[in-house]
Chain A
């Protein structure tokens, strides 16, 4: 196996896309090889052993999330958990024309699932956010009043994946429940970075995934409140109480639980360390790049490990590539496999951007458990230098008349 830590030249600050598998997680998974890599639904001893690892992992995750173990459903990832929550709710209530109230800055896994539900007859109400990327609760109140009488699900993420703004989930849940509606929260980015508790938030549905925590890609979970009706999206088995049929993945579940334990136990120290790194990085960028803007800086609370900055006049595509060639891996907002550089729906909803035809480059730095101050310092220096260079060249291109 290639040791990624031997590669000291490269700096990885894109943990919000995927945080690479932690050594401890890999060790925990290796320790159960030969036991957890069987079919947990099989009736023989091999199956039972795998099942016991799966259930143990479920129990540990439930504990870390403050949710009853009976309400934890494993899925194949965060997108699948979000889809199951939103579309699964809409389909389960299809006969009563359900309402979905969805914040404008949700991950596409929620937004696109809600749009699909709309095509299938659900009523979709978008929730606006303020300039810091925080949902406007007054709008939620109005949306809930509008939906009164129909089954209604509010989907509000715990923290935004692009700018890190933390949402008032507990308050939204209180308002939602007061009107007999339900609340889903996508806690994919928040879990392990800030305290996330299903119990404290009172969310009815809560999505989490492993690979943002240094766990394996391909496993996530949805907490589903007892009694809340969801339709499964896939068919062919009764696993996960029929909500996510298909062979379960006990080996990944063990890794998931271990990654979650490490992340949660490191709080609040890790968060304090990230906050320091983030603030130092902001200082460096503000000193080196004219006009740099920090997205979500005014939010009441932000994820400590994500920093999104706007660079008026810079070309993000060019900047990301030149940074990568220098060994600094960042993203422009969210990871899209095709490298699409469309304006992000999150920044649009926040009203952030150049407000004109001028290019507006966005860089998202996101830290992981082993990110060092020196790495952040070097990345900040490279980013400041290359951003200034690309602003110059983009400015020249922008000023040139069209051929």
Chain B
């Protein structure tokens, strides 16, 4: 229970359905330790909201400190991915490790049969068949993009009740139950990145003099230098903001070359690519076969588009997109779908 409306309603629905529910909040990060003496972690708002909801429902609620593992599994990777010129998604790793491995381990210790979260995704169970993860009923809220890295065995234990609902219905239920979180605004921040200042986080972990945070050249594809930047970690493929002007058409980041500290820019067309390579693959259903036509999503909120699997090799795969896409961004996820079913995914290399 994050303290938000989705996990609050999840707990409420399961409680109402007669489950014996234990609420849990994981503390992933302590702002107090980096920002001085105030120790604001003890006042993290979400914990209070979760406690209030649990109290209202009459269920026990606990806070689990996950800071040490979270730093190792999520923050370290976040930092090293940016240092390598990629644009990581920490939420994917938090789900894979912090929530659906570590917290599930806590649930085991408490003797819980299931673990439920407020994710917008669906679990499909059919007798004699493996459990499958499917896209949410509310397509605009679908969060399967962040869930491809789960251990497949965890699916059997999961309950995702609000994946069957539209967000408006979830809020309506929260209001019906008079939950204090009913009208809480959505959060878009990464929990360990205060004020969305991810460069500040990188400075803290890498040190201000790190190459990823130091001045380098902005170049065209042919290597011509057209300007400078204050650290390639401030850029992501497809970005337009913060680039030198004076070109006949709008320019975008096309590539980041960390070893040369270069940010390569080009016109819109230069960003189009039809080949996508990914690594660190994880499968939640039968892995795809070379030649298979499959759906792929390459950004959260982007549509699922058609592709053909061109290669499968260990934990790596390669796709050919039937229509070339702009901004295939290294570090983001490529999540594969067969209709509603999440097949699995990987981290985009290029």
Which residues of A pack against B, CB within 8 Å?
A: 112, 115-116, 119, 315, 317-318, 320-322, 324-325, 336-342, 390, 393, 397, 403
Contacts and interface: CB of A to CB of B under 8 A. Distances in A.
Given A115-B37, A403-B101, A339 B109 contact: no
A318 B106 contact: yes
B30 interface: yes
A324 B42 contact: no
Interface string B102-132: 0001101110000000000000000000000
A330 to B, nearest CB: 13
Contacts of B139: none
Given A318-B109, A325-B110, A397-B105, A339 B37 contact: no
B283 to A, nearest CB: 16
Contacts of B37: 112, 115-116, 119
B179 interface: no
B27 A339 contact: yes
A275 to B, nearest CB: 32
Given A317-B65, A324-B60, A340 B109 contact: no
A341 B65 contact: yes
Given A115-B37, A338-B27, A390 B109 contact: yes
B3 to A, nearest CB: 12
Contacts of B63: 338-339
Top 5 nearest A-B pairs by Cβ distance? A339-B63, A341-B65, A338-B42, A318-B109, A321-B62
A115 B101 CA distance: 38
Contacts of A340: 27, 30, 41-42, 65
A336 B42 contact: yes
Contacts of B48: 337
B185 interface: no
Contacts, number: 56
Interface centre among B43, B109, B110 (most CB of A within 10 A): B109
A122 B43 CA distance: 28
Interface string B13-32: 00000000010000100100
B65 A324 contact: no
A387 B48 CA distance: 28
Contacts of A393: 108-109
B64 interface: yes
19 contacts: A112-B37, A116-B37, A315-B109, A317-B64, A318-B106, A318-B109, A318-B110, A322-B110, A324-B62, A325-B110, A336-B42, A338-B42, A338-B43, A338-B63, A340-B30, A340-B41, A342-B65, A393-B109, A403-B101
B44 interface: yes
A338 B47 contact: yes
Interface of B: 22, 27, 30, 37, 39, 41-44, 47-48, 60, 62-65, 97, 101, 105-106, 108-110
Contacts of A115: 37
Nearest to B51: A337
Contacts of A341: 65
A339 B64 contact: yes
A322 B22 CA distance: 11
Nearest to A389: B109
A336 B32 CA distance: 14
Contacts of A339: 27, 47, 62-65
B60 A325 contact: yes
Nearest to A315: B109
Given A338-B63, A339-B65, A341-B65, A325 B22 contact: yes
Contact of A322 (B41, B97, B109): B109
Contact of B47 (A112, A337, A342, A397): A337
A395 to B, nearest CB: 12
Nearest to A397: B105
Contact of B110 (A112, A321, A397): A321
Nearest to B101: A403
Contacts of A324: 60, 62
Nearest to A319: B109
Contacts of B64: 317, 339
B43 A337 contact: yes
B154 to A, nearest CB: 13
B104 to A, nearest CB: 12
B100 to A, nearest CB: 12
Contacts of A338: 27, 41-44, 47, 63, 65
